[in-house]
Amino acid sequence: MEENCHYYKMIVFNRKFKITERRPPPDITNAFNVCTNSDSQMSPDHFQRFLIDFQGEEEATIDDAKRIMELVLHRFRPNFTLCSFTLDDFFNYLFLHDLNAPIPSKVHHDMTAPLQHYFIFTGHNSYLTGNQFNSDCSEVPIIKALHKGVRVIELDLWPNNAKDGIHVLHGWTMTTPVRLTKCFKSIKEHAFVKSPYPVIITLEDHLTPNLRPKVAEMATEIFGDMLYYPKTGDDVDDEFPSPEELKHRIILSTKPPKELLETKLEEESCAGEETPDICKNGSLTDERINSNQDGNMSDLSQSLSQFLSIDFDVEDEDAGNEKPGLKTPPEYIQLIGIHAAKAKKELRDTLKVGSGKGKRLSLSEQTLEKAAADHGTNLVRFTQKNIVRVFPKGTRLTSTNFKPLLAWMHGAQMVASNMQGYGRSLWMMHGMFRSNGGCGYVKKPDFLMSRDPNNEVFDPKVILPVKKTLKVMIYMGEGWHMDFSQAHFDRFSPPDFYAKMYMVGVPADVTKKKTKVIKNDWIPIWNEEFTFSLTVPELALLKIVVREYDISKKDEFAGQTCLPVSELRTGIRSVPLHDKKGEKFESVKLLMRFVFE
């Protein structure tokens, strides 16, 4: 009995840790043989032929081929004497993401057009470390966002309790504040680590006029020559500057303060006996916070209920704390590089394109849906001159995000996402901004910026004919046994992987495909091809998700990526996968081929 038990354990152990030998799929062997005329060695001449004929890199030279080959050989055979590939060398090269990526790694879009011609990587409540209700406010998520290439940082400004300083926090919540100076200094230090193109700081201003000079003083002292000052005089009707003109500049964007505000002070409206505890300096009172920290869950529930009752569909960029007769000093107003505007009650009036310099308009995701449904072409026309920012609805307390495609289809430049959040919508955002070298600015398709002879613009509701067909071959995957524990997917056997591919874009292009399940293998080989017909390939994203099949419970996540179709390089490419939050795995990758017809 003991011997049988030992034998069973040995079988389980062997199954669990067995790794199939990695071998090139038939297409890879065939490509090698075609380019070498069935020779056992691939010379630089042969490799150049592969780059041109199979990878579509028509400008590749012999020197390019030799340089790549030497980089590969130094990694796998550092003592090589002859610059030539064996089939194994060639196969190793194909899996190297840094040398054989599916999309270009450098900026290649025209960066000289006005700002409104670009989709811009945009954060929402950039200072929050977690959820929207009671997480900490900190400069850390701002730094993380900038390192990922985010170019628009949002800060909510409120007076501190003494009303002599400025805090950054999410108003009417239990979030703990962070000082504005700390946020500004972090932005200055990290703004251009990932990208040289401008960082825009959108300010949701809830300050009193006497505090705004402090904002101006902080901004000018901390940012110095980085700070962009808008032009004045005869050229105020000019277009927005271009990302190229604004390299290494920081731009402030907010709604110019209202002077002689006719409405009552928000402070005064919060002073009555019936006022809930949340109406104090934009956050819960110290008493309410302390009671929640002491474990009074009923108070916390009541606070949350009050929070949810507030209308967050429109983020208030008005000056809510101004006293009649008080004016904001001119130095603050002069620092506003992009003027923001609030949507009017009638969307049709809001979306009228006027003369003069463009502005930035903020819309909630619900308002965007209404505008797209009722005034779609007006919205497209508006974004040709102005910047539109779309932000998540206030009920997304756990920092989830909405799908960005509807906003992009209508030309909205700033789709604000909770970068500290999670989920498929954020994967799409990461996918879009892998474009153009990850610099945070993606040139909008020409059709979103042009008009026909009848002055008509692109209509997202119109179904267009198929423009391109994309064929995707998924050969195989590898790296899970290096990035995951041996028992992560299954305690007693190797995993059963399958891949799903989703095409997201305009409604006519949306579809999904699925491979077969490869059982009991850490290195799955699918060798399956899928075809996607695209009417608007310029806005399409290919989302790939790998899962491990489990008959008894929910299939296990094993990696994801999202790739902009307009950026895909043809040929056989190495596609790295990422975790649920978008961080790239160290070793997990797919070998795929992309062909356009």
pLDDT in tens, 528-553: 999 999 999 999 999 999 999 998 88
126 or 296, greater pLDDT: 126
CA 444 to chain centre: 15
pLDDT in tens, 452-462: 999 999 999 99
The answer to whether the CB of 280 falls within 8 A of the CB of 333 is no
Residues 133 and 252 in one domain: yes
CA atoms lying within 13 Å on the CB side of residue 32: 21
Same domain, 437 and 381: yes
- 340 and 249 in a common domain: yes
Residue 557: domain span: 468-596
Q: Is the pTM for the entire model greater than 0.85? A: yes
State the burial class of residue 296 (Cβ atoms within 10 Å of its Cβ: 0-12, 13-18, 19+): middle
Instruction: Output 251 or 551, whichever has higher pLDDT.
Output: 251
CA distance 589 to 252: 40
Q: What is the DSSP string of 280-349?
A: BTTB--HHHHHHHHTT-HHHHHHHHHHHHHS--SS---S-TTPPTT----HHHHHTEEEEEEEPPSSHHH
Question: pLDDT band at 303, cuts 50/70/90?
Answer: low
Residue 202 lies in a domain: yes
Phi, psi of 159 (to 5 degrees): -65, 145
Does any domain span residue 338?
Answer: yes
For the stretch 43-67, what's the b/e string if a residue is b when 16 or more beta carbons lie within 10 angstroms of its beta carbon? bbebbbbbbbebbebeebeeeebbe
295 burial level (CB within 10 Å; 0-12, 13-18, 19+): exposed
What does the angle CA 126 – CA 414 – CA 243 come to, to the nearest 5 degrees? 100
- Residue 138 shares a structural domain with residue 33: no
User: What is the CATH classification number for the domain harbouring 521?
Assistant: 2.60.40.150
Same domain, 329 and 437: yes
User: Among the three residues 397, 413, 448, which one is the final residue of a domain in this structure?
Assistant: 448
Which 8-state DSSP code applies to residue 525? E
| Same-domain check for residues 132 and 238 | yes
CA distance 27 to 34: 10
* CA angle at 242 for the pair 240 and 246, rounded to the nearest 5°: 105
Are residues 583 and 492 located together in one domain of the fold?
A: yes
The answer to whether residue 514 sits within a structural domain is yes
Residues 6+ apart with CB under 8 A from 279: 172, 266, 269, 270
Total of domains in the chain = 3
pLDDT at 269 over 90: no
Contact 247, 228 (CB under 8 A): no
pLDDT tens-digit series, residues 326-385: 677 778 899 999 999 888 888 998 998 876 778 999 999 999 999 999 999 999 999 999
Percent of the chain with pLDDT over 90: 77
**Would you tell me the crossing angle of helices 140-147 and 180-190 to the nearest 10 degrees?**
20
Least confident of 6-20, 235-249, 500-514, 526-540: 6-20
Assess if residue 30 is contained within a domain.
yes
User: How many whole angstroms separate alpha carbon 454 and alpha carbon 448?
Assistant: 15
Give Cα separations from 439 to 99, 106, 148, 415, 419 (angstroms). Answer: 19, 8, 9, 16, 16
Average pLDDT value over all residues in the chain: 88
pLDDT band per the 50, 70, 90 thresholds, residue 22: confident
Q: Compute the average pLDDT of residues 200-214.
A: 94
Question: Do 436 and 497 sit in the same domain of this protein?
Answer: no
For the stretch 560-590, pLDDT in tens is: 999 999 999 999 999 999 999 999 999 999 9
Same domain, residue pair 322 and 385 = yes
329 and 419 inside one domain: yes
CATH number at residue 145: 3.20.20.190
pLDDT at 262 > cutoff 60: no
Element spanning 550, H or E: none
Q: What is the rounded CA–CA span in Å between residue 384 and residue 46?
A: 48
Query: Is residue 360 within 8 Å of residue 253, measured between CB atoms?
Result: yes
**Does residue 194 register a pLDDT over 70?**
yes
Share of the chain above pLDDT 70, in %: 84
> Residue 275: pLDDT above 50?
no
Within-domain flag for 74: yes
Dihedral, CA atoms, 174, 175, 176, 181, nearest 10 degrees?
A: -140
pLDDT at 180 over 50: yes
User: What 3-state class would DSSP assign to 166?
Assistant: strand
Q: Please, is 160 exposed, middle or buried when counting C-beta atoms within 10 Å of its C-beta (0-12, 13-18, 19+)?
A: middle
Q: Tell me the Ramachandran region of residue 269: left when phi exceeds 0, alpha when psi lies from -120 to 50, beta otherwise.
A: alpha
In a domain, 215, yes or no: yes
For 156-175, the pLDDT digits (tens) are 999 999 999 999 999 989 99
pLDDT for 456: 95
Distance (Å, whole) CA 113 – CA 181: 33
Residue 268 lies in a domain: no
* Calpha distance 414→118 (Å, rounded): 9
Q: Among 54, 7, 282, 52, which residue's Cα sits nearest to residue 172?
A: 282
Asked if 227 and 332 touch (Cβ cutoff 8 Å), the reply is no
Cα–Cα distance for residue pair 9/419, rounded to 1 Å: 45
| Active site (catalytic) residues | 124, 170
Residue 460 lies in a domain: no
Q: Are 559 and 546 in contact (CB under 8 A)?
A: yes
Is the per-residue pLDDT at 14 higher than 80?
no
Task: Report which of residues 425 and 293 the model is more confident about.
Answer: 425
Report the pLDDT value the prediction gives residue 287, as an integer from 0 to 100. 41
Quick one: which of 445, 391, 438, 395 has its CA closest to 419? 391
Residues 443 and 481 reside in one and the same domain: no
CA–CA separation, 538 and 444 (whole Å): 9
Domain edge (last residue) among 94, 126, 155: 94
Q: What angle do CA 284, 290, 294 make, to 5 degrees?
A: 135
What CATH number corresponds to the domain at position 14? Answer: 1.10.238
- Tell which wins on pLDDT, 265 or 392: 392
Question: Do 577 and 588 meet the contact criterion of CB atoms below 8 Å apart?
Answer: yes
Residues 530 and 568 in one domain: yes
Check residue 273 and give its pLDDT.
35
